[in-house]
Structure formats: structure tokens, C-alpha cells
A and B are shown apart, each in its own frame.
Chain A
């Protein structure tokens, strides 16, 4: 009994500090955000007035809020889909795409080099990526893409200034940045698949496409699912890239705005901290719902090897 108590004290001693820090700096702000969402706090007073659910009612008529939600909808569908598809394709080529006929699976030539190239964007800070693509998308002859277009005698394209194009330009950057990480993630998953499964399939005459669809993908499903949740949550963010790249903070005409940006504007530009917190709470529930739904919908039987 005594020793168990001592062991407990020993463990608790280690846990107390991180637990307190976590409570104070993670849980507490969350709780506070819920509280502030029910007030008309403007950022400088000590005793904000309680307004109940008024802030949430306001969200219904807020065009900017709905526009941001629509953009999240587009992000939520395209970002995971495109990123995962590309990452799976590259990971397959890097790990298993080279051999096949003889039954020994290996990657394409130079795969080690490609692995580094793919992963590189991941180590760049988002702000750096933003500034980099600001130069890539620059609308005049100094832009990387438009400079080339102009040299070829073509009209420059307003990648970020055309409302129909701007969000896609930003999604492309997000995909470019994310793909490397998922290539590595899926590569690790593929390495865990026993080679004899592939050998057996190869002996039975399966081609690379068939092997990918019937063996790799099903055995990788858990990893893909995790990637899907991560990317879905990333689709609810996008703040930094939009902030750096978009015209007029989320423009043109709100075509690229995202909720975190609206929250930031509402709180720090318009001094409506209460209303901004209400948006934050809405975002919190959307993210949680998405994660829960995805995990539920994509649940499959685990395969033991």
C-alpha cells in the first residue's frame, strides 16, 4: 500500500508541472474563449457586459462569415483529396514503383534524392513559403510565372487578383507545402507492409496499378485516414498563407478569406473580441465535428499481418 502510494507520488510529481501548465495555457484560454463569446468585450475593459447568445445570432447574417465557410468547404474537399492522391502516388513510386516483375519491390531510381526534394517545403516556415509564392505569383514581369508568360508573348495572369482564381492559387501553395510530409508518412506505412504479400501478388501476375489498388491502399488505410484528419484540420486554418498572399486581406472581394482571418480582423481591427470569440467557438465545434465524423465514416476492419 505504502509503496504504491510512493509510486503514485513519484509519478504525480512528474505530472504536476506539465498538467498545471497545460491547464493554465491551453485549457484555460479555451474556457475563457467560451466565456468571452457570451459578452460584448471590446478588448480593453475589465468587466465586459454579458449578452447571452446574441453574438451567435449575429453570425447568421454575417456575410463574411458565410463566405469564409464556403471557402473552408472548398478547402475541405480539395486539400485532402489532392494532397493525399499526390502523396500516395509519389510514395508508391519512391518505395515500390521501381521493381515488380521479378517480385522484389523497390523505388524508382534516385528515390532518395526525390524524397529530400519532396520534404523540403515542409521545413520552410509558412511565412517563408508565403513570401516565396508572392514572388512566384507576382502579377507583373518580375513574377516568376508571369515573367515567363510575358517572355513567351502571353498575357500575364492575375493569379491572386482574379476572384475565380485566387483561392485555387492559394490551395496550390498549401498542397505544395503539405505533400512532402505525407509522402514521408505514407512511405513509412508502405515500408511496414510485408514484402511477401507483393511477391505473392507479382507471382500471380498483378501489375503495378493492381498491386497499388488491391494491396498497398487497403493496407495503408489507417495512415491515409490519419492524413485525412490532419489535412481536414489544416483546411480549417490557412490563416498565415492567406494573410501574406491574398490581396486586401482575404480578397479579392473576400474570395480567399478564411475563418481565422475573419476572427483576427474582428478582434484586432474592429475590437469586437466577444464576437470574434463566438466565431472561434463556432470554428472549434466545426473542427471537432469534422474530426469525429471522418474517423467514424472511414472506420474499417484492421488487417493483421
Chain B
């Protein structure tokens, strides 16, 4: 295959032609050009483009994905809590080092959806996207249009640091699982996040409190805290009731095993009316009624987190990004530490140490972009030791790459989470994926969670209402369905 067709000049002409709608003409000149735009300029929207993006250059040991070293690359980064410095200061220089001739266009944004939706419609798509934040694009919809590159080639490629190892073998469990859309790996979740209850280790030490392992101990601590004028537990009801949705679902998994969540995600019959879900919701609603404060139903996440920092709340449900988020407001008297949700019954399937370990921060490469192989290569560079370790160093988030963070100076929250993960061992709680698969169901779960925690509906009604919505979604042919096996 000739490489000359990949010159930037050619590129622009092809893009221009595509933009003015002359796709037929663009497909004319030369087989090389044709293969270069096999996925890019096909124009049809119905076509679910098959598997691997066409390689545009020969593959070699140093270049297993067949990247055309001269092709430009466009990277869109969600410029949120983690900033975009890790991309401009680390990953992009690494790519440039490997391919000095490639020009990289960096696009930081907080509005992924607003900025990219029209571009996906018109066909002028970026090569790598960090699909994150409140306006993240619907992955299932993108996959259905064939916009997402198949990551199989990436996972099977040799790791940059150890050519004897495949990339997939350097990653923590769950990455593969979570990359699948309709059975094909499309999404790379880059960071590991631990979700459970956060507390102030210094406050607990000062008061002589221990982290409860059983629900009775949890309630007893609630009594203690009440005496000290502290609310045992609060979640933000105005913006962010999903923190409590997570809590309810993960607790249900603790009681009944991860299959509870798998069933919920698969829209299985009776998934929400499972006794484990009912037990979890009953326990939490009771705790809220006894030791909660209804003021928090009207506060947003930032307001609640500030009150947590002021030691007005003992336990707050969130993920391990919390310390990063609140770094500016955190007083020295506060040290974030994570506590698994206490065991609800004596016969819980998972032990008290069980904690949710999930992957997040979605990245994808475009199948129809101008440089799909370059997109995959960029992701491979992110998964290298240097790329991942540097990311952790800069953002204080652990990545999905195994064993690259040793010796780094990590903040207490991340250290505490890593320790909790060690204690949990293999007993990790799986992530609930209906959150991104079925946003309507997820929104409904937030409304219902607020209702049941405020006592407007009973736990039984909660389960019934959720099951009703899940059944509706199942019957709705306009919603594309996903399944998971574990």
C-alpha cells in the first residue's frame, strides 16, 4: 500500500470533497486513497462498519497497529476535574516522540456533546475522544452508527514496555468487560475508581470511633454521632441522588452477590424485586429515617461535600475522585478515608470488606475518522507504563494499567482506596452498567431513590416501580439492548 496518499495535502482535499458532498468523486482516485477512507467517507449511515479499521501503513514490531507516521491526529479531551494537562503534557508528546512527523490537534472541551454531535453527523470526526462529563455522547448510539473503532487490535497488540505481553494482559479485570458494546470492544475506560462510603479518618480517631462492619454497629454509631451533633449519613438529593442509587445497588450486591447487578443490567424479569434489593433499600431507608437529615434532599453534591468537610456528616457515598474534587476546600483537619458498606445481614453473600471497584473515564477511537490506526496507537501509548504512571502522578487517579503506580506520592484517599481493594481481594462488587446503557432507567432510579429515602414510597413500592420501568424499557424497541454475563 502506498503511503503517499496519506499526505496532509491529500487529506485536506479529501475532507473538502467529503464536506461538499462529493463522496462518490472522493472514492475515485486510487486504491490507496480508497482504502484510507474505507470507513471514513462511506457516507451511509445505516452501515455498521465492520471490525478493524483499515491499516494505512505496514505493521512492524515497533508499529504493530500500522500507523501512518505522517498522518495528523486529532484528540478531544474532556477538560473537567482531571484537566487536560495529562494529554498535552504527557500523552501527546509521547505520540510525537514515536511519530515526529505527525501533527496533533488538541481540542479541550467541557461540552463533548454540543461540540461533537454535529461533527459526527457531518462525518468530520476526531480520532480520539475522551467521552466524559455531563454531556458525554451516547456510546450505544455511536456504536450503532459504526463510529467506534474495534479495540480488539489494540488489546491484542504487544505492550509498549514488554513486547512479550499483550496490552490486554497489562490491564486490571473489568476493562475488557466494560469495553463491550453489543459484544464488540469499543470503549476504553482508563481509570479505576472505588465507590463506597467516605469519612474523615482524623475525626474518627479523635472521637475514638471505629468503622462499622455490621449494620447494627452502623446504627449504634449513628446514635453516637447524633449525640455529637453529626448526621450519620447524607447523600445529595438535589444534584446527585445517583450516589445513593449506587449505594442501594452495591449494597444489594453485597447481600445477594454480583448476580443481582448483572440481572438488573440485563433487564431480567424480577431483577428489582429480588429480596436482596428489597433488603438493601429497606435498610438504607430505615437508616435515613432514624439518623438522616431531610435537609440534604435539597442540597447539591458540592454543598453536601462541603458539609462533609465541616464534619457535619460522618459518611458520604462517592467515588475515589472525591478528594481531587474537594482539594481546594479541604481543611487540614480532614483526611479522606474509604469504608466499605457494612454487612446488612449475617448471611450476606459477600464479606464486609467487599467494595466496588469500577473503571471509568471512557476513551474511544473513531472508526470513521481520518486516522483510525493512529487513534488506537494513541490509546496504546496511554496504556504504556510511562503514559499511565504519568497520568496517576498528574491527576492522582489510578489507571487500569496494573502495577505502575508503586512509589508514587499519592493522596490519602487514593492510598486508602488501594488498601481497601487489597482487603477486599477477589470480593469486589461489580459496576452497574444500566447507568450508561439505559439512561431513562437510571434517571427513574434517581427519582425513586429520592422518593423512598424521603419515605414517600415504601421499599416494596420502590422495587415495584423500578421493575415496572425496567419492563417498559425491555419492551421498548427503540432502545438498543445490551447484555453482560458477569
List the one stretch of A70-78, A81-89, A132-140, A177-185 in contact with chain B.
A132-140
Kindly state whether residue B113 has any CB partner on chain A within 8 Å.
yes
Contacts A139-B296, A247-B298, A248-B238 known; 13 new A-B pairs at CB < 8 A: A42-B141, A42-B144, A43-B121, A44-B121, A44-B145, A46-B43, A46-B123, A47-B46, A160-B298, A161-B454, A248-B447, A252-B451, A253-B447
Min C-beta distance of B325 to chain A, whole Å: 20
Kindly state whether residue B241 has any CB partner on chain A within 8 Å.
yes
Return 11 A-B CB contacts under 8 Å, by A number: A44-B121, A45-B144, A46-B44, A46-B121, A139-B294, A139-B295, A161-B297, A247-B298, A265-B443, A270-B440, A271-B141
| CB-defined contacts of B485 to chain A, threshold 8 Å | none
Kindly state whether residue B171 has any CB partner on chain A within 8 Å.
no
* Bound Cα distance A57, B337 (Å): 51
A44 to B, closest residue via Cβ: B120
| CB-defined contacts of A268 to chain B, threshold 8 Å | 113, 135
Knowing A160-B298, A161-B298, A252-B456 are in contact, say whether A269-B145 is a contact too (CB < 8 A).
no
Kindly state whether residue B268 has any CB partner on chain A within 8 Å.
no
Contact yes or no, B298 A158, CB < 8 A: yes
Q: Which residues of B contact A (CB under 8 A)?
A: 43-46, 113, 117, 120-123, 135, 137-138, 141-142, 144-145, 147, 237-239, 241, 293-299, 303, 307, 439-440, 443, 446-447, 450-451, 454, 456, 478
Query: CB < 8 Å: which of B147, B237, B446 contacts A161?
Result: B237
Kindly state whether residue A189 has any CB partner on chain B within 8 Å.
no
Min C-beta distance of A24 to chain B, whole Å: 15
Contact yes or no, A139 B44, CB < 8 A: no
Residue with the greatest number of chain B CB neighbours at <10 A, chosen from A44, A45, A46, A159: A44
Contact yes or no, B145 A248, CB < 8 A: no
Query: CB < 8 Å: which of B121, B137, B440, B447 contacts A254?
Result: B447
Quick one: CB contact mask for A31-48 with B, threshold 8 Å, 1 for yes? 000000000101111111
Contact yes or no, B299 A44, CB < 8 A: no
| CB-defined contacts of A246 to chain B, threshold 8 Å | 238
| CB-defined contacts of A163 to chain B, threshold 8 Å | 456
Contact yes or no, B298 A138, CB < 8 A: yes
Query: CB < 8 Å: which of A44, A139, A248, A275 contacts B450?
Result: A248
| CB-defined contacts of B144 to chain A, threshold 8 Å | 42, 45
| CB-defined contacts of B303 to chain A, threshold 8 Å | 138
Quick one: CB contact mask for A223-236 with B, threshold 8 Å, 1 for yes? 00000000000000
Kindly state whether residue A98 has any CB partner on chain B within 8 Å.
no
Knowing A42-B141, A247-B450 are in contact, say whether A138-B299 is a contact too (CB < 8 A).
yes
Contact residues, A200-256 vs B (CB, 8 A): 246-249, 251-254
Residue with the greatest number of chain B CB neighbours at <10 A, chosen from A139, A161, A247: A247
Main secondary structure of the interface of A (DSSP, over half): loop
Kindly state whether residue A106 has any CB partner on chain B within 8 Å.
no
| CB-defined contacts of B44 to chain A, threshold 8 Å | 46-47
Query: CB < 8 Å: which of B293, B440, B447 contacts A251?
Result: B447
Query: CB < 8 Å: which of B46, B239, B295 contacts A140?
Result: B295
Kindly state whether residue A272 has any CB partner on chain B within 8 Å.
yes
Quick one: CB contact mask for A104-141 with B, threshold 8 Å, 1 for yes? 00000000000000000000000000000000011110
Contact yes or no, B450 A252, CB < 8 A: yes
Kindly state whether residue A103 has any CB partner on chain B within 8 Å.
no
| CB-defined contacts of B147 to chain A, threshold 8 Å | 44
Contact yes or no, B145 A45, CB < 8 A: yes
Contact yes or no, A44 B454, CB < 8 A: no
| CB-defined contacts of A45 to chain B, threshold 8 Å | 45-46, 121, 141, 144-145
Min C-beta distance of A45 to chain B, whole Å: 4
Knowing A44-B117, A248-B447, A268-B135 are in contact, say whether A158-B297 is a contact too (CB < 8 A).
yes
Min C-beta distance of A303 to chain B, whole Å: 50
Knowing A45-B145, A46-B121, A163-B456 are in contact, say whether A139-B443 is a contact too (CB < 8 A).
no
Quick one: CB contact mask for A187-209 with B, threshold 8 Å, 1 for yes? 00000000000000000000000
| CB-defined contacts of B113 to chain A, threshold 8 Å | 268
| CB-defined contacts of A48 to chain B, threshold 8 Å | 45
| CB-defined contacts of A161 to chain B, threshold 8 Å | 237, 294, 297-298, 454
| CB-defined contacts of A265 to chain B, threshold 8 Å | 443
* Bound Cα distance A275, B135 (Å): 19
Contact yes or no, B141 A44, CB < 8 A: yes
Contact residues, A1-56 vs B (CB, 8 A): 40, 42-48
| CB-defined contacts of A254 to chain B, threshold 8 Å | 447
| CB-defined contacts of A272 to chain B, threshold 8 Å | 478
Min C-beta distance of A33 to chain B, whole Å: 15
Contact yes or no, A47 B294, CB < 8 A: no
* Bound Cα distance A251, B141 (Å): 27
* Bound Cα distance A163, B43 (Å): 49
Query: CB < 8 Å: which of A40, A47, A252 contacts B454?
Result: A252
B451 to A, closest residue via Cβ: A253
| CB-defined contacts of A140 to chain B, threshold 8 Å | 293, 295, 299, 307
| CB-defined contacts of B451 to chain A, threshold 8 Å | 252-253
The 7 closest A-B pairs by CB, nearest first: A139-B298, A46-B45, A271-B138, A47-B45, A140-B295, A45-B45, A139-B295
* Bound Cα distance A102, B293 (Å): 60
| CB-defined contacts of B450 to chain A, threshold 8 Å | 247-248, 251-253
* Bound Cα distance A160, B117 (Å): 34
Contact yes or no, B142 A44, CB < 8 A: yes
Contact yes or no, B443 A44, CB < 8 A: no
* Bound Cα distance A249, B413 (Å): 30
* Bound Cα distance A125, B443 (Å): 28
| CB-defined contacts of B297 to chain A, threshold 8 Å | 139, 158, 161, 247, 252
